[in-house]
Chain A
Amino acid sequence: MTDAIEAHGLRKTYGDVVALDGLDVRVEAGTVFGLLGPNGAGKTTLVRILATLLQPTGGRAAVLGHDVVAEPLAVRRTIGMAGQLAADDGERTGRANVEMVARRYRLPKHEARRRAGDVLDRFGLAGVADRRVHTYSGGMRRRLDLAAGLIGQPPVVLLDEPSTGLDPRSRQELWTIIDELRREGTTVLLTTQYLDEADRLAQRIGVVDHGRIAAQGTPAELKATVGGSVLRVRVADRAAVDDAARRLADLATGDEARVDRVAGEIRLAVADPAASTEAVRRLDAGHVPIAAVELQQPSLDDVFLTLTGRPAEAGPANDSPAEEAA
């Protein structure tokens, strides 16, 4: 097993603001690694350091064995990057844009042309390949950006929140492409705010919080930490909420139930989907009137709460200049 990406004790600070605080991560070659976390957690900072766009304050990182600080050129030859920004030249055609990128990988002209045709085709841009990019829709530009990031056939691909702002169909297409990349043996590091996306694509997920990996594992392992699903119970009489919570307490796996007295709501992580039936039975038996019972997939918020003891959106680094500048 080879690590395509490794980071040890990676730190990045901007004055007093700590964007990365001793982050450790290893991504096995040929896998998709999902980096999950709220804005400001340090995801983008990590990606930018791996892409040699940013120098770490401390620690080290390497891509395919090349140190990002000592051998930036070697790193850049092995990575492809795409993100939320459409960085292509609007005055040129889609084809010219991707060919230009291919040429930066020093591919001969004919090879660049051939690959440009292939990659535009693959991203559904063949029909508009010879149109100027400023006539493209937002979704088309994003796909072009991705095509440009992949045309060098880099063994390691860094995708920074590639699905943010995409419509559902484009997101589906993106997912298909990432699956294909993995099948071809490409290593993909993907940052996302969506658990379902990481779940669907990644073999391993790292949850980033405050510039560190708070937890990592396979999607199943991570979900197990929140107990598989979340049971949400709302009682009709808010005064009964503590009584209800007591009756349901032992259904929760791992963490304690969260009680929201204002809303009269209880949320608890459960392992067994049958827990919802059990909850209804118990509350009924105790004559606690129920307003709603719902079994939900764990959200990023649930994963966060379980792993960090606080909701994801409460991250104090939410508006850190690190992410702002990036």
Chain B
Amino acid sequence: MTSTPLTPRRRLTAAETLSDTRVIAGRQLRKVLRRPMYVVYLFVQPVILVLLFRYVFGGAIATGSVSYVDYLMPGIIAMTAVFGALTTGLGITEDLAAGVIDRFRSLPIAHPALLIGRTAADLATNVVSMVVMLAIGFAVGFRPTEPVWDIVLALGLILAFAYVFSWISAFVGISVRNPETAQSVGFIWVFPLVFASSAFVPTDGMPAAVRAFADVNPVTLVVDAARALTIGQGDALSPALGTLAWLAALLVVFVPLSVRALRRA
């Protein structure tokens, strides 16, 4: 048998996996910059939503002593981040169809790098999207009262939340394979989570059953924590811990599920 000139090690080093991850992430980020569809979805849509909620619904929703724009911003930032996470699954279905995933999987790389790179790229776009949201929020009257590090903590929590949702979305994408299906399935699980929560209206006004769901909904928890950390409404610690517990549990379930699904894709 001819010996191969290639590395004989049974496992890849962490540095090699990191470099594979960078390649995957870089590829995705270049695509985002080049495709107007992404620019609209990640940057223009959030702006439109802020304006709509602020000026169309804002007058009709009672949020007590807090102005609606202050109430709204943590919720709409969280929603946008979660919607941003949906692009992970969509992109994966496209890459599966185009053979991109096969190309990488037939190369000597660690397969999880495909998902880590992809979710990392989507996290990066979410950061940019978030900056856009904040800027437009300030422009329409959002005035956080809490210290900067609390605000940064709130944004970090939302990003972590979105990152975990990227993995769920990845799992859905690999499982359904078809972009259109991934999109509709994505909306089926994400819409109730986002809207049956405290993101846009206080949960006390909801019917008992919906409220029971909304109060344990991780979106409510992350938004409540973010609200406490930005405009000082309510307690931050308890919803923040609740969020982290959710995130840990979801990661433990969906990272292995996605990696396994990719191996069988």
Least CB distance, B117 to chain A, in whole angstroms: 13
Find out whether the CB atom of A87 lies under 8 angstroms from the CB atom of B98.
yes
We find that the number of chain B residues with CB closer than 8 angstroms to chain A is: 32
Closest chain B CB from A56 CB (angstroms): 12
A190 to chain B, nearest CB (A): 16
Chain B residues lying within 8 Å of A81, measured Cβ to Cβ, are: 102-103, 106
Please name all residues of chain B whose beta carbon is closer than 8 Å to the beta carbon of A191 when the two chains form the complex.
none
In the assembled complex, A77 has its CB within 8 A of some CB on chain B: yes
Residue from B27, B102, B108 within 8 A of A73 (CB atoms): B108
Q: Does any Cβ of B come within 8 Å of A273's Cβ? A: no
Among the stretches A47-55, A249-257, A285-293, A311-319, the one at the interface with B is A47-55
Count of A-B contacts judged by CB separation below 8 Å: 89
Q: In the complex, A89 Cα to B30 Cα: how many Å?
A: 9
A52-B105, A53-B102, A86-B99 known; A185+B11 contact, CB < 8 A: no
* A9 interfacial by beta-carbon distance below 8 Å: no
Q: How far is the CA of A88 from the CA of B98 in the complex (A)?
A: 9
A86 cross-chain contacts in B, Cβ below 8 A: 98-99
Docked-complex contact A87 and B108, CB < 8 angstroms: no
The reply to whether the CB of B6 lies closer than 8 angstroms to some CB of chain A is yes
Question: Which of A147-155, A213-221, A231-239, A261-269 sits within the interface?
Answer: A147-155
Q: B106–A79 contact, CB under 8 A?
A: yes
Check B100–A104 contact: CB distance below 8 A: no
CB of B6 within 8 A of CB of A29, answer no
CB of A91 within 8 Å of the partner chain: yes
B1 pairs with A101, CB closer than 8 A: no
Q: Indicate if the CB atoms of B10 and A73 lie closer than 8 Å.
A: yes
Most chain A CB inside 10 Å of its own CB: which residue of B8, B11, B99, B100: B99
A77 near B98 with CB under 8 A, answer: no
By a beta-carbon cutoff of 8 Å, the part of chain A in contact with chain B is: 2, 29, 48, 51-55, 64-65, 71, 73-74, 76-79, 81, 83, 85-89, 91-92, 100-101, 103-106, 145, 148, 152-155, 185, 325
- Residues in chain B within 8 A of chain A (CB atoms): 1-2, 4-8, 10-12, 16, 19-20, 23, 27, 30-31, 34, 98-100, 102-109, 177, 263-264
What are 30 A-B residue pairs whose CB atoms fall within 8 Å in the complex?
Answer: A2-B1, A51-B102, A51-B106, A52-B105, A54-B264, A55-B264, A71-B10, A73-B10, A73-B12, A73-B108, A74-B10, A76-B108, A76-B109, A77-B4, A85-B102, A85-B103, A87-B99, A88-B103, A91-B27, A91-B30, A91-B31, A100-B23, A103-B19, A103-B23, A104-B107, A106-B7, A106-B108, A145-B103, A148-B103, A153-B5
- In the A-B complex, list the 5 residue pairs whose CB atoms are closest, starting with the nearest: A85-B99, A87-B103, A87-B99, A104-B107, A81-B106
